[in-house]
Amino acid sequence: MTEGPGAVGSPPAVQPPPPGGPGWAYFFDLDGTLVELVDPPAVVRVDPALRELLEALRHATGGAVALISGRSLDDLGLLFPGPPFPAAGQHGLERRGADGRITRHPPPEGLDAARELLAKTADPRIEVEDKGLSIALHYRLAPQLGGYAGRLARAAAGAAGLHYAVLPGKRIVEIKPAGRDKGVAVAEFMDEPPFRGRTPLFVGDDVTDEHGFETVNAAGGVSIKVGAGDTVALWHLRDVRAVRAWLARAIAAARSA
């Protein structure tokens, strides 16, 4: 099965998105949102200016800032050395709360069958990234293989069993346990301090972020889509540079209490 959000809507509003403020909780995708997409994804680097912006926002909100990423928590830890941010990795399959406690949702049996199939059939131009709880197929360096990558992922998910789903993204397709997504991760954070009782704001760029947009929309929050494409997000930012500029406004708004 292919796992995706509900029906997408029209392009989001063209007005500048609200920056939030006191009493808000901030959630961010990473690749394509806070940092540019690069090939291969492993060469991404987080510059000090971004770290300073996120630290300033975390301080202004009393810690209510979290990363919601398809990357693993281990990978996020390498990109953000030092005191770790609250974060959800692998689209919510693992999560580190503001208290530092890590929870992981063990995958159903079957992922080894997907690994075996991919080891035998994957084209060498497709990067197979085994994240432990999920498997990603990257084809950014060979975009002509997108159709093949999708078919291969569906075959691997079929080998893994009914509890697994295929999640497409920007030149990536993933095999992951069904029922866990970024929207669920946001909701779990919102049940914990310092996020509890705040209004959620989520910024993302990919179809994998649509679940997060749906969750914050249902909670009366702010959803911000980065880049082009139909979406359920209510607001829009043009690119990563625009996100960085908006972050400066968000910090000022959060400090305005």
CATH value at residue 92: 3.40.50.1000
Q: What is the pLDDT of residue 234?
A: 96
- As a whole number of angstroms, the distance between CA 227 and CA 141 comes to 21
**Token pair listed for 164:** 């697994």
CATH value at residue 120: 3.30.1360
Q: DSSP 3-state assignment of 128? A: strand
The answer on 188 and 75 residing in a single domain is yes
**Percentage of residues of the chain with pLDDT beyond 70:** 93
Answer positive or negative: Cα dihedral of 37, 92, 3, 26. Answer: negative
**Is the CB of residue 6 less than 8 Å from the CB of residue 214?**
yes
The answer on 169 and 205 residing in a single domain is no
Angle at 180 between CA 175 and CA 182, to 5 degrees: 100
Q: What is the pLDDT of residue 2?
A: 55
The pLDDT-based confidence of 248 (bands split at 50, 70, 90) is: very high
Q: What is the pLDDT of residue 37?
A: 82
Q: What is the rounded average pLDDT of the residues 79-90?
A: 91
The answer on 140 and 48 residing in a single domain is no
Give catalytic status of residue 123 as yes or no: no
The answer on 194 and 219 residing in a single domain is yes
The answer on 130 and 101 residing in a single domain is no
The answer on 190 and 244 residing in a single domain is yes
Identify which of 1-5, 47-51, 104-108 has the greatest average pLDDT. Answer: 47-51
Mean pLDDT value across the chain: 90
Q: What is the pLDDT of residue 1?
A: 54
Of all helices (H) and strands (E), which one includes residue 189? Answer: helix 182-190
The answer on 188 and 96 residing in a single domain is yes
The answer on 160 and 191 residing in a single domain is no
The answer on 184 and 99 residing in a single domain is yes
- Which residues constitute the domain of residue 218? 24-105+180-254
DSSP label of 31: B
- Residue 1 inside a domain? The answer is no
Q: What is the pLDDT of residue 171?
A: 86
Task: Evaluate if residue 221 carries a pLDDT over 50.
Answer: yes
Please state the pTM of the whole predicted model: 0.84
Q: What is the pLDDT of residue 7?
A: 43
Q: What is the rounded average pLDDT of the residues 3-16?
A: 57
Q: Which of 177, 192, 221 is the last residue of a domain?
A: 177
The answer on 229 and 117 residing in a single domain is no
Task: Evaluate if residue 5 carries a pLDDT over 60.
Answer: no
The answer on 186 and 166 residing in a single domain is no
**Is the CB of residue 165 less than 8 Å from the CB of residue 144?**
no
**Percentage of residues of the chain with pLDDT beyond 90:** 66
> pLDDT tens digit string along 114-155?
999 999 988 889 999 898 888 989 998 889 999 999 999 999
- As a whole number of angstroms, the distance between CA 249 and CA 102 comes to 31
Which residue out of 29, 205, 206, 209 is catalytically annotated? 29
The answer on 32 and 149 residing in a single domain is no
Domain count, the chain: 2
